[in-house]
Every structure is written in structure tokens, then in C-alpha cells.
Amino acid sequence: MSKAETEQKMVQAVEHFKEDLKSLRTGRANAGLVDGVTIELYGSKMRLREVANITTPDSKTILISPFDTKNTGAIGKSLEAANLGMKPVIDANAVRLVIPFMDESVRKKMVASLHEKREAAKVRVRNIRRDMKEKAERQKKAGEIPEDALKKLEKEIQDATDKFCKQIDDFSAQKEKEIMTV
């Protein structure tokens, strides 16, 4: 049980939160919006990134160019089924997603979703804190560490928790600014 182990787990929680943020719409096109889309091809489910090149030629368009153009229709159907709030436009060799304008109510919904994700990430960090404190207390009861080492470890765990919760708040504030920018 160490400070490094605690921080490693908390870093993973923050990274997961950052990945979650990619799925939130802002006013600009972002390839991360389609990261969670899977396609049924060749008898198995595949991630969109595995079967197509995803680019953003301008701030309002996501262009999906399949590696095999025969899969264009299947990709279009999967994007419709993913319910992203955008209607895919299927060309002969590519699929385009046009990002619709976000009015104030949609922006507020995105911010509310962001706040939910932020709180879930903080809960993950706090759960790590609780688990690591319990582990340290078990070590103390087993006689593996002295009382003063336990207190020092608990302080380090709390400091790490504060640091990573602050990072989550900072990433959240940055994303909220992106969402609210017209």
C-alpha cells in the first residue's frame, strides 16, 4: 500500500473522466463524438475507428471514410442507431455528420450531463480514497505499519484526493466553457 498506488488509481479515474468528456457535444465537430459507436461487420462488432478514418474537415462536419467503401451503408445505419442527435449523410465513399446548431436549452442539457459525469468521477476518486484508507487501517491492525505511518499515509491519501478532485473540476470548467461558447 503506497502513495504511488493510490495516485495511479486516481490518475486512471481522471483519464476515464477525460474520455467521457469527448462524448459531450460542443458547438464544434469533434471526432470523439463517434468514439463509442460500434458496427456489426464481418460477423463481429467493431469500433468505428477500426473500420474507418474519422476527420473533421470543418468546425461543423465529421467525415467518416471507410477503409472498405462497401461498408459505407453499414456505418451509416450504425450511426443512425447510435442516436447521436445527428442524421448521417451517406455518399458513395464516405459518411458525413453535420453538427446541428446548439440552442441555449441544448447547451444547458449538455452542461447538466457534464456535471453528472464530473460528480461520478469525483465519486470514483473518493471510493479509491476510502478503499486505500481501509487497506491502510487493516495493515495497522495487522501490525505491518505503526500509528504514525498510518496518519502520514492517510494525509497523503487525502492530499491526492484533493489534487485529483481539483483536476476533475478544472477539466469540467474547461469543457463547460467550450459547451457554452456560441
Note whether 97 and 84 are within 8 A (CB): yes
Are 122 and 138 found together in one domain? yes
Of 98, 127, 152, the residue that ends a domain is 98
pLDDT computed for residue 121 by the predictor: 95
CB-based contacts of 67, cutoff 8 Å, min separation 6: 51, 52, 53
Are 51 and 7 found together in one domain? no
pLDDT computed for residue 103 by the predictor: 82
Q: How far apart (Å, rounded) are the C-alpha atoms in residues 174 and 140?
A: 41
Are 58 and 118 found together in one domain? no
| CA distance to 45, 53, 64, per residue, from 84 (Å) | 18, 18, 14
The boundaries of the domain holding residue 70 are 31-98
Are 73 and 122 found together in one domain? no
Task: Residue 76: give its domain's CATH number.
Answer: 3.30.1360.40
pLDDT computed for residue 74 by the predictor: 86
Query: Domain total for the chain?
Result: 2
Chunked mean pLDDT (size 10), the chain, 182 residues = 84 91 77 81 85 86 88 86 82 85 84 93 95 91 88 92 95 90 74
What SS3 class is residue 82? coil
DSSP 99: P
Helix (H) or strand (E) holding 73: helix 72-81
Are 51 and 83 found together in one domain? yes
Are 91 and 145 found together in one domain? no
In this prediction the pTM is 0.75
pLDDT computed for residue 77 by the predictor: 86
